[in-house]
Structure 1
Amino acid sequence: MFLNRSALNRIPPTVYGPTFDPGSLRTGIVHLGCGNFHRAHQVTATQAAIGAQGDEGLGWGVTSVAMRRPELARALCEQDNLYTLLTREPSGTVASVMAAIHEAVFAGDTHVGLAARIADPAVKIVTLTVTASGYHLTADETLDPDAPEIRADLKGATPRTAAGILAAGLSLVRQRGTVPPVILCCDNVSRNGRTLRQAVMDFVALDGDDGLAAWIGEHVRFPDTMVDRIVPVPNADDRHDATRLLGGIEDRIPLSAEPWFQWIIERFDGPRPMWEAHPGTRFVGDVEVFERAKLQMLNGTHMILAYVGALAGVNTISDAACDAALGTIAARFMRYEQTAGVNLPEDEMDRYARDLMKRFRNPGIVHEVERIGRNGSAKMAARIIRPMRENLEAGRSVEGATLLIASWIRWFALHEQEALEIALADPRADVLRRICADARDDHGAQVEAFMAMESVFGPPLPDHAAQVARISRMLKRLTDESVPALLHELAR
């Protein structure tokens, strides 16, 4: 038997299941970006809210929209939108059947009508997890008008980008004179609500509708949020464990997540699910301090573990964090470089840093460095360059940032030489590989060309030539020396 609604009464009592009838759900939330993180994060909080609110909660079902590929949406439909979430505790695995998705659709299907779904008066909230690169932003976090996907949306009748879809839906709301939904960006973008609001306004202005842009600015709320949970790519072990824990019921699309869950949401008025029924969800007046701590301390440290770890021959974040040398470098980088501009008490930052390293070392979470290393050019400015710039201005060390940037450039150099064993995914991959090809044996020229890309790194760093020289020396060492031996030296 496969997991579906008819199988719910057969799941073992050791498995957590929905306390409501999934068949009675109605859509109150449209989510753009039906993926693994969404299924392990927003859906779990929404399921807790529906359960806590009883019959009133049944109006908070989620219509989850797959943006790029239809496979997951179709697999969800085949299982009545049910799936198993495996929480990987260090001491074992806990299984829960998730049922808050009311329907799953693919944005590329012409009959879906996303604008009409967003404009449905029953839809009170639109959430998004389309990854940082899915917003097509420049280094200063404004909409990139030259991005091919944005240009295609401006020319085409059916938008496929987040900005284009939201613009179409909000335009229809305005035409009908109804109340617009609250838009909640749940991606790792600095000041994500305000940034998305401006990106949507910029999109409609590019489309020639200044009136709609002004209306969005005045009437549509885009609260800031911060999300945090490690969700590895599903694998065969997940399917095996789900079937075992479900007592033989097969789930084609289970996924794993760590126990840690955090969702910080800027307070807003109006109807919403009781998301705070899920531990780790908080509504606050100012999200920015939590967001900056997470972007820099967690996401930035993830990047150094991924880029350096791959060069050292490790495959997962857990292995990288458990490596004596790299773990020491990462912990030092997190606490003494990545806390720049994080306005939290010292003891709270100490505790958060310890918790993060403990999470990174969890052997139950198989988080591949290849996946964490994706889309570095879209992440570099907010996560690495901003604290690096502040540290340089204050005269503090930037040794970790130097190692990280050099390691990232080394990924492209190796890939250009067909010597990188892992896949390389980045929206600017072709340009960056070409730089490495044009200056194959000149590390200084490679670094100078990379750092000149203001769309990635922003304006020049303080004493820019000295920083280029420092990164070039590190790149040369990563090229010429044993990486594990180099890390052992740097960790002293």
Structure 2
Amino acid sequence: MNRLSNATLGGLPPSVARPAYDRGAVTSGIVHLGIGAFHRAHQAVVIDDRLAAGETGWGIVGASLRAGDTRDALKPQDGLYTLAVRSAEPTRFRVIGAIAKVLVAPEGPERLLARLADPAVRIVSLTVTEKGYCHDPATGALAEDHPDVQHDLSEALPRSAPGYLVEALRRRRRAGHAPFTVLSCDNLPANGATVKRVLTRFARLRDADLGRWIEAELACPSTMVDRIVPATADADRTEVDAALGVADAWPVVAEPFWQWVVEDHFPTGRPDLAASGVEMVRDVAPYELMKLRLLNGAHSTLAYLGYLAGYETVADAVADAGILSVVARLMDEATPTLRPLPGFDLDAYKQNLRRRFANPALRHRTWQIAMDGSQKLPQRLVAPARDRLAQGQPIGVMALGIAAWMRYVTGSDEKGGIIDLRDPLTDRLRTIAAEAGPVAARLTPALLGIREIFGADFAADPRVVEPVIRALDSLFQVGARATAARLARRDLVL
């Protein structure tokens, strides 16, 4: 079967949407770090719309900071790939042409730095996941003892996202060019302010003058991004190949819903994002908090409970009445910790979230969402729990979400099987779990003592320790399904 490429675009079936512009006339004004499935199903789709509208200076050069698998898949396809949008309706297929090329940083650091330093590049966007910022999730500060930070401060060629950005900014300053705008699209609290803090501190450690310049000149607008994008499976490739009549080595699959809220601060220019449905606002924080605590907090809780209960996908997990009840209560308990959004219907938003989770056409694996929990819990569950305590309220179902993570990181499922634990703190988590054993009263304070996740206060606060112990003990004794059912019946009080 022929591959998807510029040469085969014209032969695709009429039902398959494709780039409605001359790709040869596009120049690249954006570099994107972390060229994974989410970016290709979200931001790149919006840019594809803007290119079709005639804004041809905003093509994307993607960059992987780790492996070359995405480059290897897309290079023979001239950067083209398929977006498959799945719901109860027939799947819709669209070929995206916004990505001009993909660079692999470890194979050619200088090539990526040269592209970042090019004054034609006015935006550098990122989806490198929470751990890619080399920061302390509990404080939002640069993790100065991080191995990649230490490497990048001592070596000429970087390997971390902060290292590449600061070195590129140094080169631009030396050449007399304005800094690019850094646009984080990851689930970090105040992601713009966080990345600015990380980059400024990193730069100051290298050169005090560079740090002052970055602090004064660099724009880092905050964003909120939302779309459910499961990992691509072989069955997805088979479906896409059949629909296109050509082979696509790495399509992406997504739900119909998407949202992108962006702080409108781009000193060197930007595409007309609002014309493609992006919400350009002065303050992203209320939207970000809503998404982190309602969607992401529920997603993580679903992932740990669902995986432990033996459910492979999110849709399978929310089909369990007990787990669905946990999700609904978690959202309700998080609601008083949100900032006001006048005119926004939060109840409708929460109902829509539950419908999205239940989409049977998306096989969003609980194991995928469960990855890197030490980086996700601080903003998804710990921060709203801390806010509830400040309001004089119990942490409630959030205690079960935290306990479910604790049960998961023991590395053994309810049938005794080994959990493939993927986390920057894996070794430390396994050591703590092995030393404490499956005893809630020992494991809970031991894990709450990890300051990078829980800060310095949780391990000493009985309002946290006691409900988490009760929830974790139930998970050890009767399992995730029965614990969720007990909570739904109010037989378990947290």
TM-score, normalisation: structure 1? 0.95
Distance apart, 1:282 and its partner CA: 1.1
Change (3 A) 1:98 1:461: same
2:99 counterpart residue number = 101
8 Å CA contact 1:375–1:427 kept in 2: the answer is yes
Distance apart, 1:393 and its partner CA: 2.4
Specify the code of the residue in structure 1 equivalent to 2:186. Answer: D
Specify the code of the residue in structure 2 equivalent to 1:26. Answer: T
Distance apart, 1:233 and its partner CA: 0.3
Distance apart, 1:356 and its partner CA: 0.7
1:92 is paired with a residue whose SS is coil
Instruction: Tell me if 1:48 matches 2:54.
Output: no
Change (3 A) 1:67 1:26: same
8 Å CA contact 1:370–1:422 kept in 2: the answer is no
C-alpha distance after superposition, 1:413-442 (max 9, x if no partner): 244999345421111111111001111143
1:184 counterpart residue number = 183
Change (3 A) 1:323 1:119: same
8 Å CA contact 1:2–1:249 kept in 2: the answer is yes
Q: Which moved more, 1:96-105 or 1:337-346?
A: 337-346
Specify the code of the residue in structure 1 equivalent to 2:82. Answer: T
Specify the code of the residue in structure 2 equivalent to 1:224. Answer: S
2:280 is paired with a residue whose SS is strand
2:70 is paired with a residue whose SS is helix
8 Å CA contact 1:226–1:265 kept in 2: the answer is yes
Q: Which moved more, 1:144-153 or 1:105-114?
A: 105-114
2:492 counterpart residue number = none
2:285 counterpart residue number = 288
1:171 counterpart residue number = 170
1:100-249 map, 5 Å: 100-110=98-108, 112-138=110-136, 139-207=138-206, 209-246=207-244, 248-249=245-246
8 Å CA contact 1:339–1:387 kept in 2: the answer is no
Q: Which moved more, 1:462-471 or 1:60-69?
A: 462-471
Q: Give the whole-Å Cα distance in 2 for the aligned partners of 1:214 and 1:420.
A: 52
2:352 is paired with a residue whose SS is helix
1:5 is paired with a residue whose SS is coil
1:48-447 map, 5 Å: 48-52=49-53, 54=54, 57-110=55-108, 112-138=110-136, 139-207=138-206, 209-246=207-244, 248-268=245-265, 269-279=267-277, 281-344=278-341, 348-415=345-412, 419-447=416-444
Distance apart, 1:238 and its partner CA: 1.3
C-alpha distance after superposition, 1:397-421 (max 9, x if no partner): 4221111111111112244999345
Distance apart, 1:153 and its partner CA: 1.5
Q: Give the whole-Å Cα distance in 1 for the aligned partners of 2:39 and 2:402.
A: 29
> Quick one: percent identity of the two aligned structures?
37
Q: Give the whole-Å Cα distance in 2 for the aligned partners of 1:183 and 1:490.
A: 43
1:36 counterpart residue number = 37
| Gap runs ≥5 in structure 1 | none
Distance apart, 1:382 and its partner CA: 1.3
Instruction: Tell me if 1:8 matches 2:9.
Output: yes
Q: Which moved more, 1:459-468 or 1:282-291?
A: 459-468
| Gap runs ≥5 in structure 2 | 490-494
1:413 is paired with a residue whose SS is coil
1:389 is paired with a residue whose SS is helix
Q: Which moved more, 1:253-262 or 1:408-417?
A: 408-417
Change (3 A) 1:462 1:388: farther
TM-score, normalisation: structure 2? 0.95
Q: Give the whole-Å Cα distance in 2 for the aligned partners of 1:270 and 1:67.
A: 25
Q: Give the whole-Å Cα distance in 1 for the aligned partners of 2:343 and 2:306.
A: 28
Distance apart, 1:91 and its partner CA: 1.4
Give me the CA root mean square deviation.
Answer: 1.8
Q: Give the whole-Å Cα distance in 1 for the aligned partners of 2:308 and 2:477.
A: 12
8 Å CA contact 2:395–2:463 kept in 1: the answer is no
8 Å CA contact 1:181–1:220 kept in 2: the answer is yes
8 Å CA contact 1:416–1:436 kept in 2: the answer is no
Q: Give the whole-Å Cα distance in 2 for the aligned partners of 1:85 and 1:51.
A: 16
8 Å CA contact 1:135–1:162 kept in 2: the answer is yes
Specify the code of the residue in structure 1 equivalent to 2:133. Answer: Y
Q: Which moved more, 1:329-338 or 1:24-33?
A: 329-338
Q: Give the whole-Å Cα distance in 2 for the aligned partners of 1:430 and 1:342.
A: 37
Instruction: Tell me if 1:451 matches 2:448.
Output: yes
Specify the code of the residue in structure 1 equivalent to 2:393. Answer: R
Specify the code of the residue in structure 2 equivalent to 1:23. Answer: G
